Amino acid sequence: MRKSFVVGALSASVLLSGCQAVNTTSAGAVGVERQQYMFSMLSTDQVNQMYAQSYQQTLGEASSKGVLDKTSTDARRVRAIADRLIAQTPKFRPDAAQWQWEVNLIKSDELNANCGPGGKIFFYSGLIDKLKLSDDEIAAVMGHEIAHALREHGREAMSKAYGIEMAKTGAGALLGLGQSSMALADTVVQYSLTLPNSRSNENEADLIGLELAARAGYNPNAAITLWNKMTAVSGGSQPEFMSTHPASASRIEALEAAIPKVMPLYEQARKS
């Protein structure tokens, strides 16, 4: 038992030694201040470039299948809402103004949306059609996704993956561990360092997305109606969006608690 504990501690120490502490965004009115640990050899630009290549490939495939929608009313809605949200991103990180933002609507029954590293946005028509989303609710979804990109949660997850592999290799080589002990070390590191952050990431995206939408003039209360709709549809087969963004009573409670912090921003935006 003692040896297993030492393996876990050494693995964590190897992981952290290859990382640097950063805070990718300002705290905002919602107060997101968690320091993040990024693998020092994995830069923001590298991750953005890797995702941009993947994004272009997906765009090409969607176009060849005839499901890339650039002309419909919903496509125009999505782009207009995204433009307003993107205009507010420098409030959280000034360099986002220089990102090569892209926004595209995919014709699909999927209930899904995504904003990848560097500001590459996909929105799926199924999310709008099946949930009958208002503009405010579209802004709630998109603000949440943009927040993931601003906080570089993708790079953070990649950093952890790199770190875990380094930790396994480094600790194994150092102690001459067998396969079962290495599996235990992997489990310890993943549980103690990965799982809590994934929960934190969702909370951060909720809060920053809420503020982005409010600053852009979209009613922050739409985040509550959105998640209530998501919860209702998850009674059957779980939509993809729900598999990575699970709704819960505690999540809705956290959003409700944060709404008073951003409501003045919404009211100011509506006046202007």
Residue type (1 letter), 254: A
Determine the pLDDT at residue 80: 98
Q: Which two tokens stand for residue 244?
A: 């990575």
The pLDDT > 70 percentage for the chain reads 74
Q: Which residues pair with 102 in a beta bridge?
A: 120
Of 219, 199, 210, 223, the closest CA to residue 31 belongs to 210
Give residue 99's pLDDT band: very low, low, confident or very high (50, 70, 90): very high
Residue carrying the six token digits 């968690």: 34
pTM above 0.95, yes or no: no
- Measuring CA to CA, how many Å separate 27 from each of 34, 99, 260? 9, 20, 16
Please tell me whether residue 109 adopts helix, strand or coil conformation. coil
CA distances from 3 to 111, 182, 191, 193 (A): 46, 11, 18, 19
Locate tokens 């480094």: which residue? Answer: 170
Angle between helices 135-150 and 195-215 (to 10 degrees): 130
Encoded amino acid at 95, one letter? D
User: Which residues belong to the active site?
Assistant: 145
Question: Residue 90: its pLDDT value, please?
Answer: 98
